[in-house]
Amino acid sequence: MLNPAAPDRTTAATVSSTRESDWQILLAICGYRLLLAVLLVGLYYSRVAPTALGSEQPWLFQLSIFCYFGAGILTTLAMQWRAAGLIVHATLQFTVDLVGLSLLLLSSGGVDSGLGVLLITPTVGYALVLPGRLALLTAAASTLALFSEEIYRQLRTGWSADDFTAIGILGVIFFATAAGANQMAMRARKSEAQAARVGSELIDLSRINDSIVESMRTAVIVLDNDNRMRAFNAVARRLLRLESGAEASPRLDQVPDLAEAVGLWREALPGAYSPIVLGNVELMPRYTRLATGDAAPILITLEDAAQIRAEAQRMKLVALGRLSASIAHEIRNPLSAIQHASQLLGESERLDVEDQRLLDMIQRHGRRIERIVSDVLTLSRPQARSPGTLALAEHLRQSLRQYLEIHPRDSRKVDPPPSSLKASVRFDRDHLNQVLFNLWDNAFEHGGQRVSQTIGTTDSGAPFLEIRDDGPGIAEDRRDQIFEPFFTTAHGGTGLGLYLARELCEYNHARLIYRAVPEGGACFRIIFARAGGTRP
């Protein structure tokens, strides 16, 4: 079971099933009792039976057999009602059999009549339904009843030791058959319980597997050798456009492209693994035989080819990022030496104009390389911070003051947001400053002279911040590339500013997107997580 602490539902079902089979055994004994009574009556009155039947006391034999038959009818009716428990019914029926058959023996000449063997069948039957000690008790009671009947009879007719020997042999048979039947019943119950438990676990596992397959985003199809789809999940039903009330096992011929690909795979021909198009989705098929042999069912999975390519691209970017971080780390040490040497060289008084121009070029490009190295290392090893709740308008004003302290006020004009707006967001303070500085720098580097800012909420209630410049904007054919690393159109740019800003937003459960606005200029929107922590 998946949860050992959970109550075992199998136990109750197994006990119920076992008890029902025990009731059936008792009902069979009732049938045996009635049949035996009818048979003895028929043999007695037809005069076909041996003379031993009722030989000593005919009146007792007739009274006993009719009472035995009547008790059999009553016990059979009681079995239909089941007013008492199983052990009570078994004990009552055993008492009826023991008393009735003992009186028949007494009236027919005792154990010599051969009627003592009739007790074997009920003894075995009760041993099948009763616990071990009670089963042996029935054998002991049957043996004692025979001894008691024989002692009483011989006190009236004369003493004979041979009859007691026969009773002893019958007693051994009673004990042996009762013990064997009880052990067999116990093993049968254990086997039934284990089979029921295993069956229940298999059913649970089957339901879990069905639930997992049904919830998968990959289309899953089980195909038999006759090209009938024996099973498929919801994604496959949607992609193959199979209606829920349609044929239980539709044929693969309804999807010609997939049927052709499966045929190529079965014939081991090229093209079986080529992407196929179902509707507007390009899918990559995969095939697996579920057993050995050409007639075994085939498991077909259909994965979105675009997602596979995106995952491959993501892994490629991850590997490239690690490589870039390693290279940046190795560049930093010699770069520091170059910058230090250029600073020392700049202090020399013997530099002419041309040498000074070359030195400025070295320092300018050194600073550019330093920025690239810093950005790459920031991307590969972001500082672990805990986003806090920020009053967005107040934080923007503080960040703007810090930004304008770095740049001259007359060259970069950033309009602060309206002071009346109140919005709280979840974001790390230093990360948000870095994102804002990158967006403001990007706006001025690409031709903007003024930057405006707007705070608002989306239709879903998430707060957002829009930063818009008055520059020429971004060409439509380049909008899909602006967030890619190292993509830049500015001379001397690193191409990592927007990429770094977007990664920092993702790190803080926010989103950075570009919006085309009819008024012109470049407009970037940051959609924040709410102050309660809900991701946009």
Residue 272 is predicted with a pLDDT of: 81
How would you label 194-231 residue by residue, b for 16+ Cβ within 10 Å and e otherwise?
eebbeebeeeeeeeeeeeebeeeebbbbbbbeebbbee
The residue type found at 232 is F
The residue type found at 242 is L
| Bridge-based pairing state of the strands 281-289 and 388-391 | unpaired
Residue 271 is predicted with a pLDDT of: 79
**Contact present, 67 and 59 (Cβ < 8 Å):** no
Q: The tokens of 48 are what? A: 């076909």
For 351, phi then psi, to 5°, come to: -80, 130
CA distance 516 to 511: 16
Query: Average model confidence (pLDDT) for the chain?
Result: 78
For range 356-382, the mean pLDDT:
71
User: What pLDDT, in 10s, does the model give residues 76-128?
Assistant: 888 878 777 888 888 888 888 888 888 888 888 777 777 888 888 888 888 88
Lowest-pLDDT range of 250-259, 334-343, 373-382, 403-412: 373-382
Share above pLDDT 90 across residues of the chain, in percent, rounded to a whole number = 0
Confidence of residue 406 (pLDDT cuts 50, 70, 90): confident
Residue 199 is predicted with a pLDDT of: 85
- Higher pLDDT: 384 or 415? It is 415
Confidence of residue 7 (pLDDT cuts 50, 70, 90): very low
Confidence of residue 9 (pLDDT cuts 50, 70, 90): very low
3-state secondary structure of 145: helix
Does the structure show a pLDDT above 50 at 13? no
Does the structure show a pLDDT above 70 at 186? yes
Confidence of residue 14 (pLDDT cuts 50, 70, 90): very low
Residue 8 is predicted with a pLDDT of: 42
Does the structure show a pLDDT above 60 at 194? yes
User: What pLDDT, in 10s, does the model give residues 31-52?
Assistant: 888 888 888 888 888 776 566 7
Please provide the distance, in angstroms rounded to a whole number, between the alpha carbons at the two ends of the chain. Answer: 39
Distances (CA, A) of 234 to 103, 279, 288, 304, 312: 72, 16, 20, 15, 26
CA distance 489 to 485: 12
Does the structure show a pLDDT above 70 at 18? no
Does the structure show a pLDDT above 60 at 492? no
Residue 459 is predicted with a pLDDT of: 81
| Bridge-based pairing state of the strands 511-515 and 523-527 | antiparallel
User: What pLDDT, in 10s, does the model give residues 325-342?
Assistant: 677 677 777 878 887 788
For 221, phi then psi, to 5°, come to: -135, 135
Distances (CA, A) of 434 to 235, 275, 381, 409, 429: 42, 43, 15, 19, 9
**Contact present, 505 and 462 (Cβ < 8 Å):** no
CA distance 463 to 427: 12
Does the structure show a pLDDT above 80 at 401? yes
Residue 324 is predicted with a pLDDT of: 67
Does the structure show a pLDDT above 70 at 439? yes
**Contact present, 531 and 425 (Cβ < 8 Å):** yes
CA distance 19 to 82: 12
For range 191-217, the mean pLDDT:
83
- HEC readout, 376-401: HHHHHCCCCCCCEEEEHHHHHHHHHH
CA distance 105 to 116: 7
Residue 410 is predicted with a pLDDT of: 56
Other beta carbons within 10 angstroms of residue 484's beta carbon come to: 13
For range 293-320, the mean pLDDT:
78
Sign of the alpha-carbon torsion through 484, 490, 493, 497: negative
CA distance 401 to 405: 6
Other beta carbons within 10 angstroms of residue 510's beta carbon come to: 26
Distances (CA, A) of 535 to 383, 392, 501, 502, 530: 21, 17, 17, 15, 7
Residue 523 is predicted with a pLDDT of: 87
Residue 376 is predicted with a pLDDT of: 65
Name the CA dihedral angle for 308, 313, 318, 323, rounded to a multiple of 10 degrees. 140
- Higher pLDDT: 11 or 524? It is 524
Tokens 């608002």, located at residue:
456
Cβ neighbours of residue 143 closer than 8 Å, sequence gap 6 or more: 167, 170, 171, 174, 175
Does the structure show a pLDDT above 70 at 198? yes
Other beta carbons within 10 angstroms of residue 26's beta carbon come to: 23
Q: Which helix (H) or strand (E) holds 157?
A: helix 132-157
The residue type found at 487 is F
Confidence of residue 421 (pLDDT cuts 50, 70, 90): low
Confidence of residue 10 (pLDDT cuts 50, 70, 90): very low
**Contact present, 530 and 464 (Cβ < 8 Å):** no
For range 300-308, the mean pLDDT:
82
Q: The tokens of 356 are what? A: 């000074």
